[in-house]
Amino acid sequence: MKGYNIDNFAVLIGIDWADKKHDICEHPNHTEIYNYSIIKHKPQALHDWAMELKQRYPEQKIAIVCELKKGPLIYALAKYEHLTLFTINPSTVAKYRKAFTPSGAKDDPSDALIQVEILTLHMDKLSVIEPESAAIRSLSQLVEYRRGLVQNSVDLSNKITATLKNYYPQALEWFKEKDTIIFCDFILKWPSLGKAKKARKKTLLDFFNAHNSRYVDVNNKRILGIKNAMPLTEDKGVIEPNQMLVEVLISQFKILLQGIEQLDKAIKGAYKAQADKNIFDSLPGAGPQLAPRLLVAFGSNRSRYHDASELQKYAGIAPVIERSGKKMWTHWRYSCPTFLRQTFVEWAGFSVRYSFWAKAYYEQQQAKGKPHNSIIRALAFKWIRIVFRCWKTNTPYDESTYLAALKRRDSPLLKFAINS
Task: Tell me, yes or no, whether 326 and 409 share the same domain.
Answer: yes
Task: Tell me, yes or no, whether 266 and 284 share the same domain.
Answer: no
324 occurs within a structural domain: yes
Ranking 53-57, 123-127, 296-300 by mean pLDDT, the lowest is 123-127
In whole numbers, what is the pLDDT of the chain averaged over residues? 92
Task: Reply yes or no on whether the pLDDT at 107 is more than 80.
Answer: no
What is the total count of domains within the chain? 3
Burial 178-189 (b: 16+ CB within 10 A, else e): bbeeebbebbee
Residue ranges making up the domain that contains 341: 278-419
Average pLDDT over residues 205-234: 94
Task: Reply yes or no on whether the pLDDT at 313 is more than 90.
Answer: no
Q: What angle do CA 181, 347, 361 make, to 5 degrees?
A: 140
Average pLDDT over residues 368-373: 94
Task: Reply yes or no on whether the pLDDT at 9 is more than 80.
Answer: yes
Query: Residue 123, Cα to own-chain centre: how many angstroms?
Result: 26
**Contact in structure between 47 and 97 (CB atoms under 8 Å):** no
Q: In residues, how long is the chain?
A: 420
Average pLDDT over residues 11-21: 94
Q: How confident is the model at residue 329 (pLDDT cuts 50, 70, 90)?
A: low
pLDDT top residue among 130 and 221: 221
Q: Identify the domain boundary among 114, 131, 148.
A: 131
C-alpha–C-alpha distance, residues 93 and 98, integer Å: 9
C-alpha–C-alpha distance, residues 298 and 64, integer Å: 24
Q: Identify the domain boundary among 236, 270, 304.
A: 270
Q: How confident is the model at residue 98 (pLDDT cuts 50, 70, 90)?
A: confident
Ranking 147-161, 190-204, 304-318, 379-393 by mean pLDDT, the lowest is 304-318
Ranking 106-120, 154-168, 255-269, 289-303 by mean pLDDT, the lowest is 106-120
Which pLDDT score is estimated for 127?
Answer: 85
Task: Tell me, yes or no, whether 240 and 318 share the same domain.
Answer: no
Task: Tell me, yes or no, whether 228 and 289 share the same domain.
Answer: no
C-alpha–C-alpha distance, residues 339 and 396, integer Å: 24
Task: Reply yes or no on whether the pLDDT at 334 is more than 70.
Answer: no
Q: How confident is the model at residue 192 (pLDDT cuts 50, 70, 90)?
A: very high
Which pLDDT score is estimated for 131?
Answer: 74
Task: Tell me, yes or no, whether 25 and 115 share the same domain.
Answer: yes
Q: How confident is the model at residue 14 (pLDDT cuts 50, 70, 90)?
A: very high
Task: Tell me, yes or no, whether 370 and 396 share the same domain.
Answer: yes
Task: Reply yes or no on whether the pLDDT at 1 is more than 60.
Answer: no
Task: Reply yes or no on whether the pLDDT at 198 is more than 80.
Answer: yes
263 occurs within a structural domain: yes
33 occurs within a structural domain: yes
Q: How confident is the model at residue 182 (pLDDT cuts 50, 70, 90)?
A: very high
Task: Reply yes or no on whether the pLDDT at 291 is more than 60.
Answer: yes
Task: Tell me, yes or no, whether 127 and 243 share the same domain.
Answer: no
Ranking 21-35, 114-128, 250-264, 305-319 by mean pLDDT, the lowest is 305-319
Q: How confident is the model at residue 3 (pLDDT cuts 50, 70, 90)?
A: confident
Q: Identify the domain boundary among 221, 240, 270.
A: 270
1 occurs within a structural domain: no
**Contact in structure between 146 and 129 (CB atoms under 8 Å):** no
Ranking 107-111, 254-258, 404-408 by mean pLDDT, the lowest is 107-111
Average pLDDT over residues 177-189: 96
149 occurs within a structural domain: yes
Task: Tell me, yes or no, whether 306 and 207 share the same domain.
Answer: no
pTM value is 0.81
Query: 315: number of CA atoms within 13 Å, CB side?
Result: 28
Task: Tell me, yes or no, whether 240 and 293 share the same domain.
Answer: no
pLDDT digits (tens, 9 = 90+) for 46-83: 999 999 999 999 999 999 999 988 889 998 998 898 99
Which pLDDT score is estimated for 105?
Answer: 64
Task: Tell me, yes or no, whether 226 and 192 share the same domain.
Answer: yes
Spatial neighbors of 89 by CB under 8 A, at least 6 apart, are 67, 335
Task: Tell me, yes or no, whether 289 and 412 share the same domain.
Answer: yes
Task: Reply yes or no on whether the pLDDT at 44 is more than 60.
Answer: yes
Task: Tell me, yes or no, whether 225 and 250 share the same domain.
Answer: yes
Ranking 16-25, 91-100, 286-295, 383-392 by mean pLDDT, the lowest is 91-100
pLDDT top residue among 139 and 316: 139
CA gyration radius for the chain?
28
Dihedral angle, C-alpha 369, 372, 375, 377, nearest 10 ° = -150
Which pLDDT score is estimated for 331?
Answer: 62
Task: Reply yes or no on whether the pLDDT at 140 is more than 80.
Answer: yes
Which pLDDT score is estimated for 69?
Answer: 85
CATH code assigned at 154: 1.10.287
Q: What angle do CA 75, 294, 304 make, to 5 degrees?
A: 55
Which pLDDT score is estimated for 415?
Answer: 84
CATH code assigned at 72: 3.30.420.10
